[in-house]
Amino acid sequence: MDVIFPVSAYPPLALGFFGLGTGYLIWGPQELFGWPRRDERVDRALGTWGIWLPGFCQLVAGAILFIGLTWFEVFKAPSLYMAAVAFSAYGIHWFALGWDRYRGNDPRVNAGVSVAYMVLSALGATVFFAVKDWPVGIVFIGLFLVYAAKLVMSVGVPVAERAMGLFRILTACWLMYLTFAVVVDFALGYDWPT
C-alpha cells in the first residue's frame, strides 16, 4: 500500500532566512566596524553563534526541504531544490566557519571555499531570477558579494573584511524582511513579495 502525503504549502524558508540573517547581523558589525574588537573571547562567541544559529537553522531548513522533496514529496516547486541545496550547503559552511573562528584556525584556506560558494551563489541567483522569484534572487546576489569580498580578504587584502561586513549587514536586512514576509504570508494570508 502506497502512502501519499498531501502537498504542504509551508516549506521552512523563514527558518533558513532568519538563521542566515541573524548570523550576518552578528558577524557583519564586527567585520565592518571592528566592534566588538577581536580577541579570543569574541572569536569564541562569534564561533558559537555561527555554528548554532546560521549553521543549525539553515541545515535544518535544508534537510526538511530535501526530505519533503524526495522522501515524502510534500513540496512540489522545483526551485525548492535549489533552496534545499543552498540551505544545506550554507548551513554546513557555517558549522565550519564557526568552528574555525572558535578555534582560531587559519582563515587563508577560505579562498578556495569562497570560489565554491560564489559558484553556488551565482547558481542560486540564476535559478531564482529564472523562476521570477526576484526577492530570493537578491539574497543570492548578496551572498555572491559576501564571498567575493571573502576571497579578496583571504588572499591578503585586509580592507575586504570591511566590505564583507557591509555586504553581510545589507544582506541581513533583506533576509530579515524575507523572514517577516514569509511568516505573514503563510500565517496571515498576506501577499508580500517573497
Q: In order of start, what are the domains of the chain with their CATH numbers?
A: 13-188 (1.25.40)
Confirm if 30 and 165 have CB atoms less than 8 A apart.
Answer: yes
The CA distance from 120 to 74, in Å, is 25
Q: Predicted confidence band at 3 (pLDDT cuts at 50, 70, 90)?
A: confident
Mean pLDDT across 120-124: 98
Which pairs from 128-134 meet CB under 8 Å and 24+ separation? 128/79, 128/82, 131/78, 131/79, 133/79, 133/194, 134/193
- Hey, what's the torsion of the CAs at 58, 59, 61, 62, to 10 degrees? 110
Tens digit of pLDDT for each residue in 137-158?
A: 999 999 999 999 999 999 999 8
pLDDT tens column, 20-69 = 999 999 999 999 999 999 999 999 999 999 999 999 999 999 999 999 99
pLDDT of residue 98: 96
How many other C-beta atoms can be found within 10 angstroms of the C-beta atom of residue 130? 11
Three-state DSSP at 98 gives helix
- For residue 73, name the pLDDT band (cuts at 50, 70, 90): very high
Rounded percentage of the chain residues whose pLDDT exceeds 70: 100
Banded model confidence at residue 92, pLDDT cuts 50, 70, 90 = very high
Cα–Cα distance measured from residue 113 to residue 93, given in angstroms and rounded to the nearest whole number: 9
Q: What is the pLDDT of residue 141?
A: 98
Calculate the alpha carbon distances from 108 to 9, 157, 176 in Å: 42, 11, 30
On the question of pLDDT at 2 being above 90, the answer is no
pLDDT band at 1 (very low <50, low <70, confident <90, very high): confident
User: To the nearest whole number, what is the mean pLDDT of the chain?
Assistant: 96
